[in-house]
Structure 1
Amino acid sequence: MSTNSNDPMAVAEAMMKERRDTVKSLSKVRDEKAAAQAKISELEMQEAEAYELALASGWAQSELKKMGFTRKTGPRRSKRNTDTSATVTAANDEGMSA
């Protein structure tokens, strides 16, 4: 930063412009990073779905592993059809007083 002015306000404004420009750059990089992370998350979900489809079409995990494909860590779909709903029973109100 070089300014030929003895005006303190002009010097201050020039200094602030440089500082604002660095924040603009930082903000742009942060936004690009967020977009890239969102795209990676989307691709990972598509990859997991494609892997499950490969299994459903008859490929064995061991075969897919030999080809370089592995299931990513995380929740797996259960092959069992279990009922996870909770059973609620009514409490007996006998003997209770208000």
Structure 2
Amino acid sequence: MMKDRRDTVKTLAKLDDEKATLQAKISKIEKQESDAYELALASGWSQSELKKMGFTRKTGPRRAKKTKDDSTTITPNNGQEASAQTTPQRE
């Protein structure tokens, strides 16, 4: 009786490992797909053209556009970090 119980748990553990392996592969492929989509956009394809062919941007975090940051980070003698906005000097 104990052997049967043990075998069912072994089967469950094996399937759980296989599922984790497949989920890791899917995550890797989704990352590659996202990179390929971004590359297609960068090479001149529009989102509407890609959509007409059946390719859509997957939901999730998008790459942030680079923006100019006018703030400066200063570290005073006490080691705490503080941010300061750079502003034009007035006379």
Fold shared by both chains (TM-score > 0.5): yes
Question: CA shift at 1:84, angstroms?
Answer: 8.7
Deviation for aligned residue 1:87: 1.6
User: Which residue of structure 1 lines up, in the alignment, with residue 49 of structure 2?
Assistant: 63
From 80, 90, 95, the counterpart of 2:76: 90
TM-score by length of 1: 0.69
Larger Rg over CA atoms? 1
More helix by share: 1
How far 1:79 sits from its partner (Å)?
3.4
Runs of at least 5 residues in structure 2 that lack an aligned partner in the other structure:
78-91
Distance (whole Å) between structure 2 residues aligned to residue 75 and residue 83 of structure 1:
21
Offset from partner CA, 1:18-61 (integer Å, 9 cap, x none)? 11000010001101100010010000000000000100110001
- 2:9 and 2:72 map into 1 onto residues whose CA distance is 52
TM-score using structure 2 length: 0.74
Residue type of the alignment partner of 1:18: D
Q: Percent identity?
A: 71
Task: Calculate the aligned-residue CA RMSD, in Å.
Answer: 2.1
How many angstroms apart in 2 are the aligned matches of 1:84 and 1:28?
Answer: 54
Aligned match for 2:64, one of 62, 78, 91: 78
Any idea what the Cα deviations from partners look like across 1:44-95, whole Å, max 9, x if unmatched?
000000000100110001110111111111221233343397622638xxxx
Q: 2:14 aligns with which of 25, 28, 33?
A: 28
Unmatched 5+ stretches in structure 1: 1-14, 92-98
